[in-house]
A and B are shown apart, each in its own frame.
Chain A
């Protein structure tokens, strides 16, 4: 059974940093691209960042480029998102998402999400 379990969310002040992690199981992690997608409660979905199976490609939404860094550890089946320079506009649920292929095709399976709140 595929499982994606996010951790690391919480309350942080504007300008602060947070690191999200996603523990994957139930599939061959290094066969698939992975993503982070966020959603402000009650609003729509926004793709944040993606990484191909071998970390050769790392891509970011314009809204986070230069502040967020995605990484993966295939040996540990884990995905991370380092978030720096956080603003109130980064407040959202953050989902760890598995792709259906080793590059970007579709968001195949979603974790349950973790809440990030940026507030003073």
Chain B
């Protein structure tokens, strides 16, 4: 199952609302997770099962979607949110796949 993220990068200002989309090549129901990776660090899961916010993750992050179309939204971008974000499907457990990533940069 191929996961296609868009955009691959974006520039935004602190306080902006940011939306990242992820499209699956097949129906993955709600088996999509989102990860945040900062430079030089290992990724961290922020959203699981399409919309479940992980413990300790700020409420400005939210996820939505099902079947083939998914969205990660940051309601008000903060300085610590500048990072690369990846979607990942766990529906096809014989071949787990990630999206290509979206780099969120400072405008």
Interchain nearest-CB distance for B63 vs A (Å): 12
Q: Are B42 and A113 in contact (CB under 8 A)?
A: yes
Select one of B90, B94, B95, B99 contacting A106, CB under 8 A. Answer: B90
Interface string of B35-63 (1 = CB under 8 A from A): 10100001111001000000000000000
Interface residues of A in 69-116 (CB under 8 A from B): 95, 100, 103-108, 110-113
Contacts of A107 in B (CB 8 A): 33, 35, 43, 45, 88
Q: Are B45 and A108 in contact (CB under 8 A)?
A: yes
Select one of A50, A110, A112 contacting B96, CB under 8 A. Answer: A50
Interface residues on B, range: 20 to 34
Known: A107-B43, A110-B43, A111-B42. A100 touches B48 (CB 8 A): yes
Interchain nearest-CB distance for B91 vs A (Å): 10
Interface size of A by CB at 8 A reads 22
Select one of B43, B44, B90 contacting A104, CB under 8 A. Answer: B90
Interchain nearest-CB distance for B30 vs A (Å): 12
Contacts of A111 in B (CB 8 A): 42
**Chain B residues within CB distance 8 Å of chain A:** 33, 35, 37, 42-45, 48, 86, 88, 90, 93-101
| A-B residue pairs in contact (CB < 8 Å), sample of 9 | A35-B96, A45-B35, A45-B86, A47-B88, A59-B95, A104-B96, A106-B48, A107-B35, A110-B43
Q: In the complex, given contacts A47-B97, A107-B45, what are 6 additional A-B residue pairs having Cβ atoms less than 8 angstroms apart?
A: A44-B86, A45-B86, A45-B98, A47-B96, A104-B90, A104-B93
